[in-house]
Structure 1
Amino acid sequence: MHSSTPPEADAQLSDELAAVVAGARRRAVRDGDRQVDTAHLLHSLLETDPDVRAAFPEGAQVARLLGYLVQRSIGYGLRWQGSVEDSGAVPLVSSAPGWSPVAAAAMEAGVERAVARGEKRARGVDVLAALTADAECRAVEVLGRAGVDVEGLRRRLD
């Protein structure tokens, strides 16, 4: 996948992950954000993908995470609104149109993870693993606020 290619147009996504990407895009538009960011991706992954939800050992963590993510549109994420997500891990110019550079990089890393595993298509857990690899992204901030042991999650996903 190339950074200039919108992630939802990539043939290397499973049908489930393509639905996650579409959900993240709708959520960004509904929240009034200019770009899909990693928190939008995390929200859509949790809502859509049972394998992603199963990656969390406590069911209550998923409920807490969804609670934080729902609050995003009513105040929690207002400090993010209108800003470009930049964890410093990727150059700002590498973003696909409509995607934060960090979210686009997570999608690319998810595809690369699947290919390295010998799969033709990335799954939601591949993107979740990529999200946890960037300690400065918005998704990891949300995970931490919900009390998730991000390092433990990262190890389970590897």
Structure 2
Amino acid sequence: MHSPIQGTSRQDPSAAEPDAALTAELAPVVAGARRRALRDGDRQVDTAHLLHSLMESDPEVRAAFESGPRVARVLGYLVQRSIGYGLRWQGSVEDSGAVPLLGRPGWSPGALSAIEFARRRAFALRGQQVTGRDLLAALAADPRCRAVEVLRHAGVDPAALSDRLNEPSPQR
């Protein structure tokens, strides 16, 4: 993954658990991704599960795609994945090469890497917990993860999406 984050001298107390740094609004995203993985028969939450849950639940994430048709294409592709497209992924471990295959049970290495990237990004940029935009930026930044494969198949340029996400976010 390429990163706009160059490291920081501050200590982030939430680094221990993958979802400890997530905001209350992202807890349902992780829960949704876990449910989706279980329903799909996957042993691990992967980056495509995270993307699907983010797309369904976070309006700021959907706004990052700049058009309704793009959002519809990504969601349509994710639905296809959950009803059969993802069968070729079933039973395999998503390994984007970003972290060693040692990880946490129930999480693919790519998903762990995305959460860590999002945590570092959020802390470096704002000193705050992770938002949906941070997690989407992390997913778009890893060219070998399943979420990026989904984005490409849906006609979304992950690099352009990453550039948009690195612009200042809209105020809440």
CA offset at residue 120 of structure 1? 2.1
The match for 1:51 is: 60
Q: 1:110 aligns with which of 118, 121, 129?
A: 118
Matched, 1:63 2:79: no
Distance 1:114 1:20 in 2: 17
- Check conservation: 2:64, 2:164, Cα contact below 8 A: yes
Distance 2:85 2:130 in 1: 30
Distance 1:121 1:50 in 2: 18
Distance 2:141 2:51 in 1: 13
The structure with more helix, counted as a fraction of residues = 1
Identical columns (%): 67
CA offset at residue 69 of structure 1? 0.6
Aligned amino acid, residue 38 of structure 1: T
- Normalized against structure 2, the TM-score is what? 0.85
The match for 2:6 is: none
- Normalized against structure 1, the TM-score is what? 0.92
> For the pair shown, which has the larger CA radius of gyration, 1 or 2?
2
| Structure 2 unaligned blocks of 5 or more | 1-14, 167-172
Matched, 1:18 2:27: yes
When the two chains are superposed, the root-mean-square deviation of aligned CA atoms in Å is: 1.0
Distance 1:119 1:26 in 2: 30
Deviating above 4 A after TM superposition, structure 1's stretches of 4 or more consecutive aligned residues are: none
- Check conservation: 2:141, 2:158, Cα contact below 8 A: no
- The equivalences for 1:112-151 within 5 A come to 112-151=120-159
The number of aligned residues is 152
